[in-house]
Every structure is written in C-alpha cells, then in structure tokens.
Amino acid sequence: MAEDLTHAAPHGEHDHKPHGWRRWVYATNHKDIGTMYLIFACTMFFIGGGAAMLIRLELFSPGLQFFDPQFFNSLTTMHALIMIFGAVMPAWTGLANWMIPMQLGAPDMALPRLNNLSFWILPFAFTLLLATFFVPGGAPAGGWTMYPPLMLQTGAAFPMLIFSVHLMGASSILGAINVIVTIINMRAPGITLMRMPLFVWTWLITAYLLIAVMPVLAGAVTMLLTDHFFGTTFFTAAGGGDPVMFQHIFWFFGHPEVYILILPAFGIVSEVIPTFARKPLFGYEAMVYATASIAFLSFIVWAHHMFTVGMPLAAQLFFMLSTMLIAVPTGVKVFNWTTTMWKGSLSFEPPMLFALAFLFLFTIGGFSGLMLAIVPADYQYQDTYFVVAHFHYVLVPGAIFGIMAGVYYWLPKWSGRMYDQTLAKWHFWLSAIFVNVLFFPQHFLGLAGMPRRIPDYAVQFTDWNRVSSIGGFGFGLAQLLLPYLIWKCIRAGKPIGNRAWEGAHGLEWELPSPAPYHSWTEPPSDAVIARGAEH
C-alpha cells in the first residue's frame, strides 16, 4: 500500500522541493501531480479538439471532401474517447489534487505514491490509444460506445483500444480511492462532513461513482476481447450470445459516467457563484442531498440510451420516468444557484461569467435531455444530430465551462498572480458565442433528420452545417487564448494577496499565494476554520 501522510507525520524527504525531471517523474506532492494532470488534460483537449475541427471541416460541405468514411468514423470515435477519458476526467482529477487537501486543511492526499501511479498510467494509456492511428486497419471507428458486432471488425487497433481502456479505468479507480481515503481521514479537526466545500462533496460522490462503474466497463471490454480472440460468444447471436446485452452493460457504466463528468462542475459552480454574489450558498444541505440523489438515480436510467433497440413497454415507462425524475434534484440545484444570486452584490469576473454561462447553457442541455427521455419522441431523435447537440450542450458549456470556471477561480491561488482579466473575458465571450453557433444549429439538423456519425449528408442540411462548422472553428481557435493567458499570468501577472477574490471563503484562501509547496503541515486553527468554512 502506498505511503500515507498525516498532519503530524514528518515529511522526511518530501520536505525539500525536488528539482529537474525527478520532481515530476517521482512526484508525490499533490500540487505537482495536480499540475501534471491539468497539463495532460489540456494537451488532450487540444488533440481531441483538433479531431473535432477535422470533423467540422469535412462536414462544412456535403459530399466527401477530405477524408474517407472509415477515417471520419475514426475521428468521431477518437474525439470522444480522448475528450472524455483524456481531457475532462483528468482535468477534474487535477483540480481535485490541487484543491481537496487545501480545502480540507490536509497536508497532502492520503496516498501520495498511489497518486503518482494514477497519473503516470495515463500517458501510457493515451500513447497506446493514439498509436492506433498508425496501425493496419486504422484507429477504432465503431464509436466510443464500442458496440458489437461492429466493434469486433476493428483491425490491429482492437487489443490496443481494450488495453488502453483498462489502463484508463485503473487510473480512475486508483484516483477515486485516493480521493475517498483523503476526504474520510484527512480533514482537519473541525471540518465535519457538512462543513466541507461543495467541490469536495461533489468529488466524494464522483469517486464513489467511479469505483462502482469503471469495473463494469472493464468487464464489458474484456468480454469484447474474449469474443474477438478466445472464441466466446457473449455478444454473438450465432453462438447464443446477445449484442444488446453489451449495450445494457455499457450504459450501466455510461450513464453514471455522464455524472462523473458533470458533478465536479456542480461543485465548482457552487464555489464560484457565492463568491461573486457575495452571499453564502443558498441551501447547502439541499445541494449535498441533491448531488447524492442525482448519483443514485444515475444507476437506474441507463436504458434511456437504447429505447429503440426494443424492450418491454413497462421497461420503457420505468426508464422514461426515472430519467425525468433526475430533473427534480437538478432543478433544486439550479434553483439554489439562482437564489444565491438573488439580491446579491454581483460582479462579473471571468470565473463568474463561466459559471453563469454554465447555468444557462447546461440547463438547455438538460431540457433537451428531458425531450430525449420521452420514449415516442426519442424514436424520432435517436441517432440524429439532436442527440449530438444535447450531449455537447451538457459536456462543453457544462463540464468544460465548469473546468474553465475552476481554473480562472483558482489560478491566482496557484500562481500567486492575477491573470489578464480582459483577455480572460475575451476568452469567455468568444467561447460562449461560438459554442452556441457550433451546437445550437445541430438541434435543427437533428430535428430535420440528419443522422450522426456520417461524413456526407443530403444537400438540404448544408446551411446549418456550415454555420455549425464556423462555430466550431471559432470555438477551437478561441481556446488557444487559455494556454497563452496562463503563460502570461505565470510570467508577468500582478502579484496578489491570500484572498484573490473579495468574496471568496474557504480554507484555500487562508493560505499564502502562491500556495506553498507544502501547505497545512499543521492543521488550521479553529479561528482559521471559522473564517474559512463559511459556505
């Protein structure tokens, strides 16, 4: 078992900040590992974003322009895998690494060496995944859902894909164990569960979800592997298997996975809005219970992804109604965020702008999700661009904007410097405008019947595809501002005090800026906790 750290335990060799490559390869410091996670996620975001730009380039005009259909399908498949497992999930883990110990008054994560292992698995997993572009048969092209029998036709990339999915799963599970053990055991005295910041709460629930569902994905892809290489027929009808069973197993993982991607964003928005409304979060306890309710419900809605494959009427009704039930705790959250702002002294710094855009645009994604939950309507929407529009509204202005809000909120604490807020507002407005230009027309395309995962389309879909592609290029280019802004901030940002934002509360703001390499080597005093733990 990895080394554990406690408040009073001496750090030994960790007292000194290591230099050179050893600092990163042998990293056990939560801030270093968090930084590596965030850099990795940013790199993957641009690789996955590059794939998205190529997809939009091909779809700019009807007919085949640049890529053959097989490669186009590889682009859509790899875009999804890279963005989900390579960009969003590692970004959340990076933020968790940086912030959870600082917010709990803990000196580090509970299991620092395990933390190192969790991170360093990822570069190997994604090297393997990206290498599939260069093997005979090309990269996987059957979609990120890996449905058989189509997926079983993958060439040499197939075992590489399965192994890389196993590695990603192992990394996520190890990271989740670390988060749970840290939160349960490393809280400073006085930080009770119900005094924890919402970001910590949402991550605790996310970690439980990860441990519960990543093994299911591992089991599903292992069955695919044995079907392909070892003669089993789990998903082959000719041998007594059932390809629909894969869909059930996959989505039993896949739907909670959606909440794994979004719950930490709920936590960040719950930190940012009170800060810039200069009011405590409205309904803290309700937020905790709503998050837990969403997590529970995520386990009993999976078949809404597969209404059209056929299931008994009772099952359709059950999954439709259980899906709609998720709107209740989600509505509680939206209500509480809105009420937090009510009569607040609002200001609109970049983190707040991203949080507000999250609030509006994620809600649009939520509403189109409700439409998709209605069984007879879903029969029309299934496999159209309406679905693409829906989940991108949830994941881009949802998860990605949540990450942006978190980065802009805590960057001054990490770097000790304030970034160029004008440039950050440019980043926000360009992102917020282009993300709607990119994804809103896809609702129209879907309702008009354009299928997803195709490189060519009927000419009547041309106009909205062009608008969507222009939005895609604009959104993609706007993201280049982020790394430039971070570089500029680290190099020449104006030094700031402990509390970067006037209305910020929480233990992290009681630490100096930049946060020292080893923070909270002694637990915070009661007075510091009282000052910092206001929600």
Partner 1 sequence: MSASGIDAMSQRRRVRRSAWLWAMIAAGFYLGFIVLTLLRGTQ
Amino acid letter, 172: S
Q: Which stretch binds partner 1 (CB under 8 A): 2-10, 38-46, 433-441, 463-471?
A: 2-10
Q: What angle is formed at CA 35 by the lines to CA 33 and CA 39, rounded to 5 degrees?
A: 120
Residue 346's beta-bridge partner residues? none
d(CA 352, CA 355): 5
Q: Do you find a cis peptide bond into 514, omega within 30 degrees of 0?
A: yes
Annotation marks residue 340 as catalytic? no
Q: Residue 360, CB half-sphere, CA atoms under 13 Å: how many?
A: 9
- Give the H/E segment covering residue 417: strand 417-418
Q: Which two tokens stand for residue 343?
A: 């009569």
Catalytic residue among 77, 154, 172, 368: 172
The two structure tokens encoding residue 11:
């750090």
| # residues contacting partner 1 (CB under 8 A) | 37
- Is 259 tagged catalytic? yes
Q: How far apart are CA 363 and CA 453, in angstroms?
A: 25
CB atoms within 10 A of CB 63: 10
Contact, 213 vs 253, CB < 8 A?
yes
> What is the number of residues in the chain?
535
Give me the 51-90 binding string for partner 1, x by CB under 8 A, dash otherwise.
Answer: ----------------------------------------
CB of 238 to partner 1, least distance (A): 15
Residue 433 exposed, middle or buried by CB count within 10 Å (0-12, 13-18, 19+): middle
Question: For residues 299 and 426, which CB has a smaller minimum distance to partner 1 in the complex?
Answer: 299
Among 222, 316, 462, 498, binds partner 1 (CB under 8 A): 222
The only residue of 211, 334, 377, 430 in contact with partner 1, by rule CB under 8 A: 211
Judge whether 19 counts as a catalytic residue: no
Task: Give the shortest CB-104-to-partner 1 separation in angstroms.
Answer: 13
Concerning whether 443 is annotated as a catalytic residue, the answer is: no
Q: Is 452 a catalytic residue?
A: yes
The answer to whether residue 508 is catalytic is: no
Over its C-alpha atoms, the chain yields an Rg (Å, rounded) of: 23
The residue among 133 and 163 lying less far from partner 1, judged by its C-beta, is: 163
Out of 90, 138, 140, 169, the residue judged to bind partner 1 by CB under 8 A: 169
CB nearer partner 1, residue 174 or residue 504: 174
Among 70, 127, 226, 347, binds partner 1 (CB under 8 A): 226
Torsions phi, psi of 6, nearest 5?
-130, 170
Nearest approach in angstroms of CB 249 to partner 1 is 9
In the chain, helix, strand, coil percent, each to 5? Answer: 75, 0, 25
Per CB under 8 A, does 6 bind partner 1? yes
Please report whether residue 15 would count as binding partner 1 according to CB under 8 A: no
- Per-residue binder mask for partner 1 (CB under 8 A), 499-528, x = binder: -----------------------xx-----
If the CB atoms of residues 219 and 280 are measured against partner 1, the closer one turns out to be: 219
**Catalytic residue status for 108:** yes
Point out which span in 179-187, 191-199, 303-311, 341-349 binds partner 1 (CB under 8 A). Answer: 179-187
The answer to whether 170 touches 121, Cβ cutoff 8 Å, is yes
User: Residue 176 interacts with partner 1 (CB under 8 A)?
Assistant: yes
Cβ neighbors of 295 (< 8 A, separation 6 or more) are 205, 206, 208, 209, 256, 259, 263
Q: Residues 187, 228, 279, 304: which is the catalytic one?
A: 304
Stretch that binds partner 1, among 3-11, 67-75, 133-141, 439-447 (CB under 8 A): 3-11
For partner 1, which is the closer residue by CB, 169 or 446? 169
Tokens (6 digits) for 418: 């304030």
Pick between residue 139 and residue 188 the one whose CB is nearest to partner 1.
188
Q: Which of 328, 180, 201 is nearest to 266 (CA)?
A: 201
Is 228 noted as a catalytic residue in this protein? no
Q: Out of 166, 228, 255, 443, which one is annotated catalytic?
A: 255
Closest CA to 255 of 213, 201, 289: 213
Question: Any idea which residues carry the catalytic annotation?
Answer: 79, 108, 144, 171-172, 255, 257, 259, 270, 304-305, 330, 333, 452
> Which residues of the chain form contacts with partner 1 (CB under 8 A)?
1-2, 4-9, 110-111, 114, 169-170, 173, 176-177, 180-181, 184-186, 189, 211-212, 214-216, 218-219, 222-223, 226, 232-234, 522-523
